[in-house]
Structure formats: C-alpha cells, structure tokens
Amino acid sequence: MSARRHVIRPATLEAIVEAAIRVLNANAGATMSEVAAQAGVGRATLHRHFHTRDDLVSAIGIRCIEDMNAAVRAEATAGQSAVDRLRSMFRAVIPLGDRYSFLGTNCTDDPRVREGYGMQLQWVMALVEDLKEQGDVDRDVPSPWVAAQIDQLVWTAWNAIAAGYLSADEATELALRTLTEGLR
C-alpha cells in the first residue's frame, strides 16, 4: 500500500498563515496549538504543513519579504529623486508593521528569508549611494552605516505604531526626517 501525501487546500493554508500572524502579533510566544485553534484547524493539519513553529515563522518571514517588495514596487515612480524614493519606501513598508512587527522577536535562520532580506539590502545600498550623490546624506558617512539606520528606522517605526504613540504617516515622516535632518 502506497503512502498518500495529504495536501492542504490553499484556503486552509492561508487561514493558518493569517491566524498565525494575528496570534503572534498578540503574543510573540504563542504556541502552535494557539495558532491551530485560531485558524480553526486541528494540530495535525497545522503540523502536516508546518512541522515546527520555526517552519511557520519562516513562511511568515518569506511572506513579509514578498509583501514589502510588492509594496515598494507599487509606490515607486519613475524619475523620483533619491529622497522621494526613500519616502516612498518608508510609506510602503512602515504600514506593514501592523502585520509583521512580531518578527523582530521571532527571528528565523531560514536561508530563503536571509536571501530575500539580502536582496532588499542591495536595493537599500543603491538608494544610499543615490542619496549621497544627490547630497541628501553626507558622502563621508559609510554606506553600510546609512543602510543599517534605514533598516533600524523601519523597525523603530513598526514598534512605535504597535505601541500606539505614532500613526503610520507620522512614523514615515519622522523616519525620513531622522535620516535626512537628524532630530533637530
């Protein structure tokens, strides 16, 4: 008798991922049982597709990378200055914190997530070079330093929105101001 592989319907898989995002945002240490209950599936169904909690967090990390990339592409306008591209990037990515801020405490070592993040950093590094070229960032500041600050400003904005003391629009403008003008 041959073993049949159980196939999860796309709608069930989507329900699991969306439930996990909700549950992990409410409690970053939530268990797989809590995710299964929120998704309305049994633990066996959940574990058929995501063998471990790390597998589930990795899938969400990949979804985050994809959503960020799609949001940035949707905001991009040909011919924008570097600072306008930075503003567009912040406008696109910062509102995603409502969905993905828990990833900061649920890190994953999945190579697919690292690869996607690395590709995003390449785009940010190219933007940093353009910001320097156009005089929005001093040329003597190391580019990796500027890229790290952009990355950190996104995480800081996500946390500020989650804590409720800034809106997405306020966080976007403060992130841009912090990078280009300092905190004067």
Q: Which of 4-8, 11-15, 96-100, 169-173 has the lowest mean pLDDT?
A: 4-8
Does a structural domain hold residue 126?
yes
Domain count, the chain: 2
pLDDT tens digits for 33-72? 999 999 999 999 898 889 999 999 999 999 999 999 998 8
Question: Do 78 and 65 belong together in one domain?
Answer: yes
Does a structural domain hold residue 2?
no
Give residue 27's domain range.
7-51
Q: What is the pLDDT of residue 1?
A: 45
To the nearest whole number, what is the mean pLDDT of the chain?
88
- Residue 124, amino acid: V
Please calculate the CA angle 124-69-112 and round it to the nearest 5 degrees. 90
- The alpha carbon of 35 is separated from its chain's Cα centroid by a whole number of angstroms, namely 20
Distance CA 109, CA 114 (A): 7
Distance CA 150, CA 158 (A): 13
Which residue has 């890229």 as its token pair? 147
Q: How many CB atoms lie within 10 A of CB 88?
A: 18
Whole-number percent of the chain with pLDDT over 70? 93
Question: Do 27 and 99 belong together in one domain?
Answer: no
